[in-house]
Amino acid sequence: MPEDLGELVRKTPLSFLGTVVRLGDSRVASVPADDRTAVVRVSEVLHAPDALRRLGGSEVTVQLSGDLDPPAVGDAAAFFTDDAVYGEGLAVREVGRLSADSVQPHVSRAARTADAMPFSAVERDLQDADMVAHADGADAVVVGVVVGLRQADTGPAADERVSEHAPDWWLAELDVGHVEQGDVTPGPLTVLYPNSRDFRWYDAPKPEAAQQGMWFLHATEGEPARWAPFQILHPDDYQPVQRLETLQAARR
C-alpha cells in the first residue's frame, strides 16, 4: 500500500481512477477553465459517498492541485478530491494523486470480495485505528446493556431552563458484564449523556432501553459529576459489542 494512501482516503470524500481526456477545459460553468483544470473520464470509483458511487464512465472536471505536476492528456491516475461543485456536470478539487498501478491491487481485491468499493478495506482499517485511539483516551471501556433511563434532576438552574443549547442531561443505567479497561466493577453503573437534539449535542450517543454495546466512558467533571461518575459525549463512545474483538486484536 502506498505510504500516504490511508491519509489521502481519510481527508478526502471522493477518489477515482480516471484518464485525462482534456486539459485547460471545464464542463461546469462556475469553474472557469484555465491551465489548472482538466476533464477526466472516470473508469472506477475508489471511495465515495452514496450519491457519487455511480460516476464510472462519466467525465468530471478536476481543479488540479498546484502542489503536483499537471498530468498529460491520456495519463491515467488515482485522483483524490474534495469540494464538489455541481453544474452541467461535476467539478472537484484535487487534493492528491497516486499512480493507477499503485491502487490496482485494491481494485483487484474488491473484485474478489464482497467489498462495495476498492478502498472499503482501507476505510475499515482507518475506522479501526480511530476506535483504538479513542479507546486509549477513555477513562473506562465496558460492555453492558441499558437497563434504565431517566432524566437527571438538574434543579432550578436558569441556564438549563432557558438556553436553547442546554444539554438536557439524562442518566443511563448500565448493567456492566465486562470491563475492558478502567477502574469499574461489573454490575450496575450510571452514565451521564446529553439527550438534547441541538446541534451541539446531536451526535452524542443516545442510549435506548435494552441496548447492548461497548461504551467508552469519560470521567465526569464539574457540577454534572454529582449525577454520575462517567459520561458519554463523543459519537464514538458507543460501539456495537462485536467491535470488542477488533479492539482486543489491535491491542495484542
The three-state DSSP-derived secondary structure of the chain is: CCCCHHHHHHHCCEEEEEEEEEECCCCCCCCCCCCCEEEEEEEEEEECCHHHCCCCCCEEEEECCCCCCCCCCCCEEEEEEEEEEECCCEEEEEEEEEEHHHHHHHHHHHHHCCCCCCCHHHHHHHHHHHHHHHHHCCCEEEEEEEEEEEECCCCCCHHHHHCCCCCCEEEEEEEEEEEEECCCCCEEEEEEEECCCCCCCCCCCCCCCCCEEEEEEEECCCHHHHCCCEECCCHHHEECCCHHHHHHHHHC
pLDDT at 88: 82
- Parallel/antiparallel/unpaired status of strands 90-99 and 59-63: parallel
pLDDT at 244: 98
- For residue 116, pLDDT over 90 is answered with yes
Better pLDDT: 155 or 44? 44
Domains 5-118 and 137-251 equal at CATH topology level: yes
- For residue 190, pLDDT over 60 is answered with yes
Name the residue ranges covered by the structural domains of the chain: 5-118, 137-251
Spatial distance between the Cα atoms of 229 and 83, rounded to a whole number of angstroms? 42
> What mean pLDDT comes out for the span 112-124?
95
Question: What is the pTM (predicted TM-score) of this model?
Answer: 0.84
What's phi and psi for 134, nearest 5 deg?
A: -65, -40
- Parallel/antiparallel/unpaired status of strands 14-23 and 59-63: unpaired
Mean pLDDT, rounded, of the chain = 94
Name 195's Cβ contacts closer than 8 Å, sequence gap at least 6. Answer: 151, 167, 168, 169, 170, 201, 206
pLDDT at 159: 46
pLDDT at 153: 86
> What mean pLDDT comes out for the span 168-193?
98
pLDDT digits (tens, 9 = 90+) for 28-77: 999 999 999 999 999 999 999 999 999 999 999 999 999 999 999 999 99
Range of weakest confidence among 105-109, 159-163, 170-174, 233-237:
159-163
CATH number for the domain whose boundaries are 5-118? 2.40.50.120
pLDDT at 42: 98
In this structure, whether the domain defined by 137-251 belongs to CATH 3.10.450.50 is answered with no
